[in-house]
Structure 1
């Protein structure tokens, strides 16, 4: 049977990351070369500086709750992508080591049936990442063109509120600054989609390996024709496969531990703030659609992490049952003892965590949605409270002015 080229499955991710400066050539980390200079220049100029200019602008709009929330939820996402990029570059050697093992013999499907078993996982990964990328493209379109569509470019409005150390409300500074923001946003969005797609691919790979191992355990003994030595060798191969899967998952989890924590925190806050910003803009305007696509993109992004994490947990929990689906009753006592030891090791399902604080599963996804709604409710309540206070202050001022007029009269 033809070998499965796992790296070929992820080739588009690798190609995009290479263009973005996030996948150096060779098997090692970044060296002292032009590619490293390009990678760090892109990180600083197109990500860090863009985030810095938006952050400084918060000081000048602190009294405007709508502008602050409209800036923060986008700023948080862009900051998270900058952190992801830096963390990816810093731990490139670890990631390259993990990726070097994916095409090993133990991780290969043994027959055509197993090859069919892993196809749904690969299809789900492609569909989820494709949906996320599609929403990101739609979001980029509206962010890029909404000042033009809303005709606010006539008052020199930029796609994003930001401070610059020069007057950008003149030509050609306005056009150049506009182009800079668009370029930065496209670069950041492409980076985010491909880093998240790669992490989802690692989790999908682990889940697919558990699917292969389940099939091996069901069929490691298929009748009385096999001798005890052959059965024991097959069981030993299954044990080694299980050990390698756990090792791969552990190394992968160590690589993206912090990335998960940052993403889940930012995701919950961003969804809540995006919903709040959504009720403050003109319905069905280009800015409205940019917020809708953004909120949905973040939703799919968080769901993608949780879905494949949940898939790992579910498929790893089936291992201890799969071994008893084999024809084990006629095995020797020695092999049965090895089976019992293996079952005991497989009793606990594998869970992918973020710093050990929470696990990647659908329950976590629901909790993030609840948290996002809590942020929205808090902002809404704060706005209502501020409005009531403003009205009371205004009434008090008007009352005092009226009293003063009576006294003067």
Structure 2
């Protein structure tokens, strides 16, 4: 309804579309989390159980891997929440910054030539430019913005932490493969070796099973998000170059940085899991397999074949969630931007 009202103002249309697309992404995220709740519980229960299993180790190398991804998850979570909170403050305070930074705007607002500035461009069933409707609209927009920011931060950090865990699990599996024959100069009997290989196989099968389940939950959302993100980045870049005052430029710049950072976080950690999966396949060959009997070496070959099975996180059926995809999205957004400028 608001788009129909403001259809003649390109800047307002882009602002409305940008916020609307981001809001739809939030709605898709939260509803898929609720609708697929049983599958999400399976993934989270697996991550919890597998993490608890790894934390019981007394091996110093594996313990260091666990501590490393734990600290990293905390840092990335704090960073992302800080980024979302900064975007929330910038978005909600932009009308106030515009009012304080421009004396002409304040004068025009007093004499009625300028409308009351709002956080979002949205239709309201009352007069939103005069009191008390303007203040009701401000409160309503602030609540919606805080709610959406909370949903986005909670969902995204959950996704990223699970990706980091899968990467850490692959590192731990590689370390376990190195120790399948014990240290150089030591020996284990055939029964112990078979039990160890069976455990490695089970760990990898469970890892592939739940990483694929996780990808089936994430892939549709990421495909929808990437399509929306390309358009949002294009609109933000266009408004940044056409903004007339400092407050608008600050908002557009921060919004553009947030969109790029959000997309980069997903692609970077997904790509990191893919690289660690390739490195993990080296684990059996980093053991002292050359001191074992031929029958055990055949078991190592079978295990190596199992470890070559990989799972790549995807964004729908068309794209892998990797750094090349991230670069292609930026290229696409820039192409839309140049088309819009012409």
TM value normalised by structure 2: 0.89
* TM-superposed deviation, 1:105: 5.5
1:129 aligns with 2:90: no
SS at 1:101 equivalent: helix
SS at 1:150 equivalent: helix
User: In 1, Cα distance between the equivalents of 2:177 and 2:258?
Assistant: 39
Match of 1:108 among 54, 57, 66: 54
Report the equivalent of 2:102: none
SS at 2:138 equivalent: helix
CA-based RMSD of the aligned residues comes to 1.8
Match of 2:239 among 277, 290, 297: 277
User: In 2, Cα distance between the equivalents of 1:127 and 1:363?
Assistant: 25
1:37-68 alpha-carbon deviations (Å, 9 max, x no partner): xxxxxxxxxxxxxxxxxxx2111222222221
* TM-superposed deviation, 1:350: 2.8
1:140 aligns with 2:100: no
* TM-superposed deviation, 1:148: 2.0
Report the equivalent of 2:260: 299
1:321 aligns with 2:282: yes
1:69 aligns with 2:14: yes
User: In 2, Cα distance between the equivalents of 1:124 and 1:224?
Assistant: 35
1:95-145 alpha-carbon deviations (Å, 9 max, x no partner): 112211223368514323212123443444333333332222222212212
- 2:177/2:284 contact within 8 Å kept: yes
Report the equivalent of 2:249: 288
Matches within 5 A, 1:202-221: 202-221=162-181
* TM-superposed deviation, 1:224: 4.0
1:343 aligns with 2:300: no
SS at 1:164 equivalent: coil
Cα distance, 1:370–1:126 mapped onto 2, change above 3 Å: farther
* TM-superposed deviation, 1:374: 1.1
Report the equivalent of 1:11: none
- 2:174/2:284 contact within 8 Å kept: yes
Matches within 5 A, 1:326-405: 326-381=287-342
Report the equivalent of 1:88: 33
SS at 2:291 equivalent: coil
Question: Of the two, which has the highest radius of gyration?
Answer: 1
1:332-359 alpha-carbon deviations (Å, 9 max, x no partner): 2222112111212223543111223211
- 1:128/1:300 contact within 8 Å kept: no
User: In 1, Cα distance between the equivalents of 2:266 and 2:201?
Assistant: 28
User: In 2, Cα distance between the equivalents of 1:270 and 1:180?
Assistant: 23
* TM-superposed deviation, 1:270: 1.0
Report the equivalent of 1:38: none
Gaps of 5+ in 2: 100-104, 110-114
List, as ranges, runs of 4+ consecutive aligned residues in structure 1 with deviation greater than 4 Å. none
* TM-superposed deviation, 1:70: 2.0
Report the equivalent of 2:112: none
User: In 1, Cα distance between the equivalents of 2:256 and 2:161?
Assistant: 23
* TM-superposed deviation, 1:330: 2.1
SS at 1:303 equivalent: helix
1:273-310 alpha-carbon deviations (Å, 9 max, x no partner): 10111112135x22221221111111111111111111
